[in-house]
Chains A and B, each alone.
Chain A
Amino acid sequence: MNVSVIVDFLIGFLILAGALLCLIAAFGVIRLPDVYTRNHAASKAATLGVMFILLGTFIYFYAFEGHFNSRLILGIVFLFMTSPISGHLINRAAYNSGVKLWDKSVRDDLKKYNSNLMDKSSAD
Chain B
Amino acid sequence: MKIIVSVKQVPDTSGKVAVNPDGTLDRASMQAIINPDDLNAVEAALKLKDETGCKVIVVTMGPPPAAGMLRELMARGADEGILVSAREFGGSDTYATSQILAAAISRIGVEKDDIVMCGRQAIDGDTAQVGPQIAEKLHLPQVTYAAEIQKTGDTITVKRMLEDGYMTIKVKTPCLLTCIKELNAPRYMSVGGIFEAYSKPLQTFDYETLKDDALIDPTTIGLKGSPTNILTSFTPPQKGAGLMLNEGDDKANCEKLAGILAKKHII
Q: Do A and B bind each other?
A: no
Binding site for B on A (CB under 8 A): none
